[in-house]
Amino acid sequence: MENVSVFSVCGMCTVRCPIRVKVENGRVSFIEGNPHVPAMKGAVCPRGAAGTALIYDSERPQTPLIREGNRGKGKWRKASWDEAFDYVAERLKKIKDKYGPESIVFTDRGGPFRDYHRAFLRGLGTPNYSNHDSSCARNVQHSALSLTGKGRKAVAYDFKNCKHVVLQFRNIFESVNVQEVNNLMDAMEKGCKLSVIDIRANVSAAKANNFMKIRPGTDYAFNLAVINEIISTRLYDEKFKGTYIEDFDALKKFVAPYTPEWAEGETGIPAQQLRKFTKELAQAAPAVIWHPGWMAARYTDSFYICRSIYIINALMGSYGAKGGLAFISKPGDVGRKGLKKFMDLYPKPKGKRADGVGWKYKHFEEGPGLAHLLFKAMEKEDPYPVKGYIAYRHDPLMGYPEPERLKQMWDNLDLLVSVTFSWSDTAWYSDVVLPMSPYLEKESIIATKNALKPQFFVRKRSVDPCYDTKADWEIVSGLAKRLDLPDLVFEKVEDLWNFQLDGTGVTIDDFDDKGMVTLANKPVYLNFEDYSFKTPSGKIEMISKKLEDNGITSLKPYESPVKPKEGEFRLTFGRCALHTQGHTVNNAMLFEQMPENVLWIHTDEAEKLGISDGDIVHVTQNNYTEDIKAKVTDVIHPEAVFVIHGFGHTLEVETRALNKGLADNKFMAGGMEIWDQAGGAIAYQEHFVTVSKA
Ligand SMILES: Nc1nc2c(c(=O)[nH]1)N[C@H]1C(S)=C(S)[C@@H](COP(=O)(O)OP(=O)(O)OC[C@H]3O[C@@H](n4cnc5c(=O)[nH]c(N)nc54)[C@H](O)[C@@H]3O)O[C@H]1N2
Ligand SMILES: Nc1nc2c(c(=O)[nH]1)N[C@H]1C(S)=C(S)[C@@H](COP(=O)(O)OP(=O)(O)OC[C@H]3O[C@@H](n4cnc5c(=O)[nH]c(N)nc54)[C@H](O)[C@@H]3O)O[C@H]1N2
Ligand code: SF4
Ligand SMILES: [Mo]
């Protein structure tokens, strides 16, 4: 067999870096960053390099499976694809006939490859598409919308040209996006400053010029004091304020009591340090990026923290600026035609969403709604019964709080289907597992990247599947065929791509050279004369009518977080460079490098408890206990303990990951009910645990 190289798209996390895959004798031998994308610098991150271990792993679902015993007991019958498709389609039809199309719901993991399966849902007639985002970035999205009328992805972080980057609950050097990291490192070599505000010194803090260790849950206090300082010392961008900020006086009045001295008492960060930092930030303006956060589903006021960050960016004039929050273009903005959409084949379903978004909760964006409220609707059969659920590349039992509670919410379902490439708690609990081919073994639909230079990109198949798995489009097509949706049935992926490219002037051959097609010659930056935001005033609005009309205040007074009781710690978490969420722990290459997580605990607190570095400790909440190794350190705030999320697997089919480390989501009693009412996301860090030596 010949040796070939294929342009593809990494699938080890949702960043989806462009890659080039070397194939020798039908096996993947090497994965590198796509050399035509300068910011990749030819590299991938450690997880990206471990894609080979994913495809050649025998511990993943290898054929369709249909449940035989009770849910979760792991008794499976192997099925052919025809049998599995028939089984699922028949049951979906029955549910639709008996309860109506809205009784079928679907959640996925977000990302750029959604148009085709979302069209499938429209074809079925259900409004209930949802994704993981109420466990991730919903607060960021809703805060962006509330201020500018546009979502969080309407701006790109122009790290390459930035002069001062601020990371607050954003650990860019471990929670990686390869191109962003490379661009930031280039900028830092040219003198860009890095400030990090975190509850512990992470890798980003180690690279920072300025690290501010903050008391967990007090970020809003810090940010309000920064706004106070900017306004009282007139450090804001006059021209930007005049053109683009609405209700400035209301903001000024609101922040007046929140002085740096006041904030010091809340956050533990000295007032003088805050002042110095604010001044330095203003000196770099408008080429500043205060990152609004990514995994911002942490506190009940996270939405307001995100809003305060966007407000600071606005005061710095960083919106639309080179080196700031640059406005991105869509194909239409650069005079090109966008991809033809599968979703346009069907009208938007008329029914109400089961999660209440759009009618009960009018201040939330409809798009993906809020999955935790969808799960609640399943339990209560309110506003109507939900009987069929497809979890598509999504593992809510690992990603949402209190899995046992979530299983109860799913008890009323007649059908639970998982479409997945790896085992997961959710797949294990399903009635049917439809195994998806991992990214190196499949094609994906063409996607658009809206950017300073927008582009189309595509994932091509590098090698054929080694097990009886199928690509996403083959799975949706197989179901569409049996559910009377002929427009969504494709025999060949080329036909599907040609549908998308129709009218764009681009052909699939145009992707051969570089793996992507760029739609503009050079980056486009804001033109002050003709840009307006999508708010009623066209400006960035400090007071949002949409929020206020729904009983939610735009400028919320600060409330001090609960202090942990004596002997308790706030449970905090984050990511590491070697794993993605819960789904890589069992990857042989990554497991070898990091088999378990450890519990970060402050030296003084550990000493009080008689715990030394490396000791095994019990972590307990409400009579539930798991054991984990302690990492005793000075660099974490004493009120918190910290773990990397995604460990503590209990499935015997994953022999490597089994019983390694601790599962943070099991220490969040009542957590499905604790969410940010203004921003919509779960508040994962409002939970406390005790720690003792084992
Ligand atoms: N306690 C706690 N809970 C959390 C978090 C936390 O830190 N702590 N983090 C939250 C965050 S930020 C998020 S985003 C969610 C994530 O929650 P999920 O999206 O549920 O988690 P993943 O493990 O990324 O993906 C779920 C499943 O989808 C499949 N999959 C993942 N990526 C791909 C892909 O690119 N292609 C294909 N075909 N399949 C894929 C895998 O088989 C995996 O089992 O969890 C959230 N929940
Ligand atoms: N390697 C790797 N990269 C990833 C992922 C992955 O799993 N692995 N997942 C991807 C996904 S889905 C997401 S959402 C992003 C997440 O990207 P990030 O949001 O940047 O990642 P996290 O590590 O969850 O959190 C960042 C930091 O928040 C800190 N933190 C916790 N509580 C507080 C607090 O109260 N205040 C402050 N100021 N800081 C706090 C943590 O200590 C941590 O260092 O990463 C993406 N990239
Ligand atoms: S950041 Fe790493 S794992 Fe994620 S897509 Fe890029 S190379 Fe793959
Ligand atoms: Mo996330």
* 315 and 357 both lie in a single domain: no
Ligand closest in space to the Cα of 267: 2
Residue 41 shares a structural domain with residue 106: no
Ligand 1 centroid to 646 CA: how many Å?
Answer: 9
String of DSSP letters for 53-88: HHHT-SSS--S-EEE-SSTTS--EEE--HHHHHHHH
pLDDT, position 2: 72
Give the Cα separation of 154 and 137 in Å (integer). 14
Kindly indicate the confidence band of residue 3, based on its pLDDT and cuts at 50, 70 and 90. confident
**Are 190 and 318 in a shared domain?**
yes
Q: Do 536 and 425 share a structural domain? A: no
Do 472 and 345 reside in the same domain of the chain? Answer: yes
45 lines ligand 3 (CB under 6 A): yes
Count CB atoms within 10 A of the CB of residue 199. Answer: 24
Among 124-128, 392-396, 528-532, 623-627, the range scoring the smallest mean pLDDT is 528-532
CATH number at residue 129: 3.40.50.740
Residue with token string 């950017």? 451
The span from the CA of 404 to the CA of 686, in Å, is 19
Domain count, the chain: 4
Mean pLDDT for the stretch of residues 403-416: 97
Whether residue 218 has its Cβ less than 6 Å from ligand 2: no
Q: Please report the pLDDT score of residue 109 as a whole number.
A: 93
Mean pLDDT of 83-102: 98
Q: What is the mean pLDDT of residues 365-376?
A: 97
* Closest-lying ligand 1 atom to the alpha carbon of residue 395: 20
Task: Tell me which ligand sits closest to the C-alpha of residue 13.
Answer: 3
What spacing in Å lies between the alpha carbon of 682 and ligand 3's midpoint?
Answer: 25
578 lines ligand 3 (CB under 6 A): no
Q: Is residue 14 within 6 Å of ligand 2 at its C-beta?
A: yes
Based on the fold, state whether residues 579 and 663 are members of the same structural domain: yes
Mean pLDDT of the chain: 97
pLDDT tens-digit map of 184-196? 999 999 999 999 9
Q: How far away, in angstroms, is 76 Cα from ligand 3 center?
A: 33
Instruction: Report pLDDT for 631.
Output: 98
**pLDDT at 291 exceeding the cut of 70:** yes
Neighbouring C-alpha atoms within 13 Å toward the C-beta of 48: 24
Q: Which two tokens stand for residue 522?
A: 């050079």
Residue 355 lies in a domain: yes
Q: Specify if 462 maps to a domain.
A: no
pLDDT of residue 336: 94
Q: Stretch 574-595: mean pLDDT, rounded?
A: 97
- Residue 172 CA to ligand 2 centre (angstroms): 8
> Do 359 and 416 lie in a common domain?
yes
State the CB neighbour count (10 A cutoff) for residue 645: 21
3-state helix, strand, coil in the chain (%, to 5): 35, 20, 45
Nearest CA to ligand 3 atom 6: 17
Residue 331, in any domain of the structure? no
> 46-55: per-residue pLDDT in tens?
999 999 999 9
CA trace torsion 139, 145, 151, 157 (10° rounding): -80
**pLDDT tens, residue by residue, 616-672:** 999 999 999 999 999 999 999 999 999 999 999 999 999 999 999 999 999 999 999
HEC string of 370-434 equals CHHHHHHHHHHCCCCCCCEEEEECCCHHHHCCCHHHHHHHCCCCCEEEEEECCCCHHHHCCCEEE
Centre of ligand 1 from the C-alpha of residue 214, in Å? 28
Nearest ligand by distance to the CA of 440: 1
Ligand 4 center to residue 358 CA distance, Å?
A: 23
Q: What's the CATH number where 29 sits?
A: 2.20.25.90
Atom number of ligand 1 nearest to Cα 401: 1
Average pLDDT over residues 381-408: 97
249 and 356 belong to one structural domain: no
The rounded distance, in Å, linking the Cα atoms of 396 and 682 is 12
pTM of the model: 0.97
Identify whether 99 is part of a domain.
Answer: yes
Give the per-residue pLDDT at 1: 54
Residue 186 domain flag: yes
Same domain for 544 and 424, yes or no, is no
pLDDT of residue 383: 98
Report the CATH number that the domain containing residue 286 is assigned in CATH.
3.40.228.10
In a domain, 364, yes or no: yes
Domain identity same for 50 and 76: no
The rounded Å distance from CA 198 to ligand 2 centre is: 10
Above pLDDT 90, what percent of the chain?
Answer: 97
Residue 140 pLDDT level (bands cut at 50, 70, 90): very high
Of residues 589, 502, 658, 555, the one with CA closest to residue 44: 589
Ligand 2 geometric centre to CA of 226 (Å): 22
Query: What gap in Å lies between CA 529 and CA 538, rounded to an integer?
Result: 12
Q: Which of 477, 151, 437, 449 is nearest to 342 (CA)?
A: 477
Cα(354)–Cα(382) distance, rounded to whole angstroms?
7
Residue 83 domain-assigned (yes or no) = yes
* Whether residues 118 and 238 fall in one domain: no
User: For residue range 511-547, what is the model confidence (pLDDT) as tens digits?
Assistant: 999 999 999 988 877 677 778 899 999 999 999 999 9
CATH number of the domain within which 608 lies? 2.40.40.20
Instruction: State whether 657 and 588 are in the same domain.
Output: yes
pLDDT of 671-692, one tens digit each? Answer: 999 999 999 999 999 999 999 9
Asked if residues 290 and 313 have their Cβ atoms less than 8 Å apart, the reply is: yes
Atom of ligand 2 nearest to the CA of 47: 1
Which of 34, 52, 177, 182 has most ligand 3 atoms within 8 Å of its beta carbon, as the pocket-test mutant? Answer: 177
- Boundaries of domain holding 16: 4-55
**Ligand 1 pocket, Cβ-based, cut-off 6 angstroms:** 11, 109, 132, 135-136, 295, 393-395, 398-399, 420-422, 424, 436, 573, 580-583, 645, 664-665, 684
pLDDT, tens digit (0-9, with 9 covering 90-100), for 471-512: 999 999 999 999 999 999 999 999 999 999 999 999 999 999
Averaged pLDDT for residues 301-324? 97
Q: Locate the ligand 3 atom nearest the alpha carbon of residue 9 and give its number.
A: 5
Query: For position 526, what pLDDT does the model report?
Result: 65
